[in-house]
Amino acid sequence: MLQPKRTKYRKQQRGRMTGKETRGASVSFGEVALQALEPKWINSRQIEAARRALTRHIKRGGRIWIRVFPDKPVTQRPAETRMGAGKGSPEFWVAVIKPGRILFEIAGVDIALAKRALELAASKFPCKCKVIVKEGLQS
């Protein structure tokens, strides 16, 4: 699963997910892409599940780009712990997704096949997503 090799700080604050995505909001590498429509945290397990579904559906043909990386640690306290014992330890990693962010891109396969594969991948995520085709290509 995806996670950073090392970070400057072990724990992060939660932050806010207001506004739309400005960077990473256009199809740059592939021909067909999956775009997020809602703000959410997507964890490394969900990204890996979507990648596997995508790869299996296109039968390892074409080329896939993963445009998100989980670089935010999420901490959890042990169950039934009293208040005041400090922040919990990092349990998993998430990517902060804002509306408009491109999650995956595909090139080198039939557009209909790529659309179906990206719809399968979208079902692995907790947010609504849509499939978009690069401008200039027929749909």
- Cα separation of the two ends of the chain: 33
> Cα separation of 33 and 23, whole Å?
15
Backbone angles phi, psi at 16, to 5 degrees: -130, 155
- Amino acid in position 137: L
Task: Inform me whether the pLDDT recorded for 139 exceeds 60.
Answer: no
Rg (CA), the chain: 17
Q: What DSSP designation does 30 have? A: S
C-beta separation of 117 from 64 below 8 A: no
Within 13-110, residue ranges assigned H as helices are: 44-57
Q: Structure tokens of 38?
A: 């809602």
Predicted TM-score (pTM) of the model is 0.93
Across the chain, mean pLDDT equals 95
Q: Which helix (H) or strand (E) holds 115?
A: helix 111-122
- Per residue in 92-101, pLDDT (tens digit) is 999 999 999 9
Mean pLDDT across the stretch 41-67?
95
- pLDDT tens column, 22-37: 999 999 999 999 999 9
Both tokens of 116, joined, read 């179906």
Distance CA 116, CA 87 (A): 42
SS3 90: strand
